Amino acid sequence: MLHPEWICIVDFGSQYTQLIARRVRELGVYCEIHPFHLSMDAITANTPAGIILSGGPSSVYEEGAPRVPETMFELEIPILGICYGLQLIAVHHDGAVDPAARREYGKAELNIDSQEDLFKGVSSDSVVWMSHGDSLSRIPSAFEVIAHTANAPICAIRNAAKRQYGVQFHPEVVHSEEGKTILSNFVYEICGADGGWNPRSFIEQSIEEIRETVGDERVICALSGGVDSAVAAVLLHEAIGDQLQCIHIDNGVMRKDESAQVVQTFRDVFHIPLTFVDATDMFLDRLAGVSDPEEKRKIIGATFIDVFEKEAAAFRDAAFLAQGTLYPDVIESVHFKGPSATIKSHHNVGGLPERMNFKLIEPFRELFKDEVRNVGRELGIPGHILDRHPFPGPGLAIRVLGAINRGQLDLLRDVDEIYLDEIRAAGEYDNIWQAFAVLLPVKSVGVMGDARTYEFTVALRAVTSLDGMTADWARIPYAVLERISNRIINEVRGVNRVVYDISSKPPATIEWE
Q: Are 154 and 145 in contact (CB under 8 A)?
A: yes
Q: Are 309 and 351 in contact (CB under 8 A)?
A: no
- Give how far Cα 268 sits from Cα of 261, 262, 325, Å: 10, 10, 26
- Which residue of the set 34, 92, 132, 170 is catalytic? 170
Task: Give the closest residue to 372 by CA, choosing from 210, 234, 199.
Answer: 199
Neighbour-count burial for 391-415, b at 16+ CB within 10 Å, e otherwise: bbbbbbbbbbbeebeeebbebbbbb
Per the annotation, the verdict on 31 as an active-site residue is no
Measure CA 78 to chain center.
Answer: 28
Per the annotation, the verdict on 172 as an active-site residue is yes
In sequence order, the 6+-apart residues with CB closer than 8 A to the CB of 151 are 102, 104, 108, 130
Per the annotation, the verdict on 294 as an active-site residue is no
- Which residue of the set 104, 172, 371, 422 is catalytic? 172
- Which residue of the set 5, 8, 31, 83 is catalytic? 83
- Give how far Cα 103 sits from Cα of 5, 53, 61, 169, 473, Å: 37, 21, 16, 12, 29
- Give how far Cα 409 sits from Cα of 114, 401, 452, 510, Å: 62, 11, 24, 20
SS3 percent helix, strand, coil of the chain, rounded to 5, is 35, 25, 40
Under DSSP, is residue 229 helix (H, G, I), strand (E, B) or coil?
helix
DSSP for residue 338: S
Q: Are 296 and 204 in contact (CB under 8 A)?
A: no
User: Catalytic residue numbers?
Assistant: 83, 170, 172
